[in-house]
Amino acid sequence: MANTKGVRLMSGESWSDKFPGYIDKGNSLFRSSHRKGYFLLMKCYVCGADALKDKSNLRKSDRAFCSKKCRYSLMEKPNGSKKFKRGKSLGHVMIKQKNHPFANLMGDVAEHRLIIEKHIGRYLLPSEYVHHINLIKDDNRLENLVLFDSHSGHFKAHGSLNRCVSTLVDRNIIKYNRDLDVYEVV
């Protein structure tokens, strides 16, 4: 049992048998003998066991967890689940593939690389690059993807786009808006 020396019980309070070191105030409300604040008796969000939730944190989340194991189990995503890197329209789609030889530290692989790998029937080398033809990084249709065997080939494709943009600016098809700091079609 926790050290209860010097802790006074108020009327209607008793030491909790289920949660050592906590004082049961009744109505599913507890207080700690060693920490300030009150705790509510709730059910674990994962397994349904009884758990104490810091009352001051209820505004942040209404989920309670009985252990770190239950809390961290929610962070695990199954293989094949998608997430977007740097926002949906700004970045690449990442797929959870823990057993992939080139997965990152979180176990994710870029979806466009997986699509090309499936198409050619082998894993891509780290030196190979996949280019999005329409420059939309979350448009991973096979017809929108091109495989380059080196960074220089991929860089050359982007360089040719820059030359096209300068031609379009010269022909007044697009212009640079200095107020918004963006290129716009005229």
Do 64 and 52 form a contact (C-beta atoms < 8 A)? Answer: yes
- How far, in Å, CA of 93 to CA of 139, rounded? 9
**Domains of the chain by residue range:** 14-67
Dihedral sign computed on CA atoms, order 151, 92, 137, 183: negative
Do 186 and 174 form a contact (C-beta atoms < 8 A)? Answer: yes
Q: From first to last of its 186 residues, what are the pLDDT tens digits of the chain?
A: 455 566 778 888 888 888 877 888 887 888 877 777 788 888 888 888 888 888 777 766 777 888 888 877 766 666 666 666 544 445 788 888 889 999 888 888 999 999 999 999 999 999 999 999 988 888 899 999 999 999 999 999 888 888 888 889 889 999 888 888 888 888
123 burial (CB, 10 Å; 0-12 / 13-18 / 19+) is middle
Q: Which amino acid is at 56?
A: S
- How far, in Å, CA of 73 to CA of 47, rounded? 10
Do 127 and 149 form a contact (C-beta atoms < 8 A)? Answer: yes
165 burial (CB, 10 Å; 0-12 / 13-18 / 19+) is middle
Question: Within 13 Å of residue 18, how many CA atoms lie on the same side as its CB?
Answer: 9
- Residue 88: per-residue pLDDT: 47
Read off the tokens for 181.
């700091």
Closest CA to 43 of 61, 65, 26, 58: 65
